[in-house]
Structure 1
Amino acid sequence: MNYYEIEPLVAGELGKDTVMDPSVHPPVVSKLHFQFAGWHGDALVTAFPCFLVTEEAKRGLLAIGITGATFADAEVTISEDFHLVQPDVELPPFVWLKVDGKAGQDDFGISRTLNLVISERAFYVFDELLGLSSADFWRFDGDNR
């Protein structure tokens, strides 16, 4: 199976209610508050070190039985700038994608360079939703760079 290293759109930042331990790298987040600054329709977004997916993407990923990730609730808010720049955009529901798999083995993992790595079958779920239009991605050839 092919794997892809992906850099999703940074659609916002960790909000003030996020709880994390910054004494380790990457920081460990135990409660996620994600504040959107803008959104271009992607089903997968990020703010280091966390990832969010739409509920629709979550359903598609669960339907194929993905490995290497679980889902959790996140507090999602919109910044004042979001309202000014995109006043007519309504966000779909988003959930936290908690990645705990091995890159190049599970459907979701994190590379040595701290990028998200997804399997081809997970990639197709996002592709069907047109959910990676703002992301950069390339074929993952292992952590041997």
Structure 2
Amino acid sequence: MAYHLLSPDVAGELGDGTVLDTSTHPPVVHQLEYVISAWFGSDLLESFPCFVVSAELGKALQESGFGSFELADMQLTVTPEAEELRQGMDVRELPEFVWLKIFGQAGVDDIGVDRRASLVVSDRALELLRRFDLDGCDIEDYQGT
């Protein structure tokens, strides 16, 4: 089975409400606040070392049976500039987002992360993801690390 390295859109950053342990690399995040500063419609977002998905994509992932992840609550903050930019570009309404906590191993599980906390998915998982908006997400073949 082939695997793919995904570099999702970075639509913002970790907010002050994020609680993380920086004594390890990558850091372990215990609580997430994602602050959106520029969003162009993608259902899959990133801010190292976290991934965020629209609730609709999260539901599809849960129903897929892929495993190796869980969806968790998070705090979402949208800056006024992001909302103005979204409206100015006529981008759809901001959906509900959930935290995609990944436990899978890159190149083994359908959804995994490598030692740098990069997202790696199987062909099957990529096929599901492509049914959603992946604007700004770079996809390349995963060569392993």
TM-score, normalised on structure 1? 0.91
Alpha-carbon distance, 1:61 to partner? 1.0
Alpha-carbon distance, 1:135 to partner? 0.7
The corresponding residue for 2:113 is: 110
Matched, 1:79 2:79: yes
Alpha-carbon distance, 1:84 to partner? 3.1
Tell me, which stretches of 5 or more residues in structure 1 are unaligned?
A: none
The corresponding residue for 1:33 is: 33
Among 89, 94, 98, the alignment partner of 2:97 is 94
Letter in 1 for 2:144: G
TM-score, normalised on structure 2? 0.91
The corresponding residue for 1:3 is: 3
What CA distance in whole angstroms lies between the structure 1 residues aligned with 2:9 and 2:37?
A: 11
Q: Contact 2:20–2:31 (CA<8 Å) still a contact in 1?
A: yes
How large is the RMSD of aligned CA atoms in angstroms?
Answer: 1.4
Comparing 28-37 with 105-114, greater Cα deviation is found at 105-114
Comparing 25-34 with 87-96, greater Cα deviation is found at 87-96
* Identical-pair percentage: 41
What CA distance in whole angstroms lies between the structure 2 residues aligned with 1:117 and 1:83?
A: 30
SS at 1:98 equivalent? strand
Which runs of at least 4 in structure 1 moved beyond 3 Å after TM superposition?
Answer: none
Letter in 2 for 1:114: A
Q: Contact 2:107–2:120 (CA<8 Å) still a contact in 1?
A: yes
Alpha-carbon distance, 1:126 to partner? 1.4
What CA distance in whole angstroms lies between the structure 1 residues aligned with 2:17 and 2:95?
A: 21
Tell me, which stretches of 5 or more residues in structure 2 are unaligned?
A: none
Q: Contact 2:26–2:116 (CA<8 Å) still a contact in 1?
A: no
Q: Deviations over 1:49-75 (max 9, x none)?
A: 100001111111112101221110111
What number of residue pairs does the alignment pair up?
142
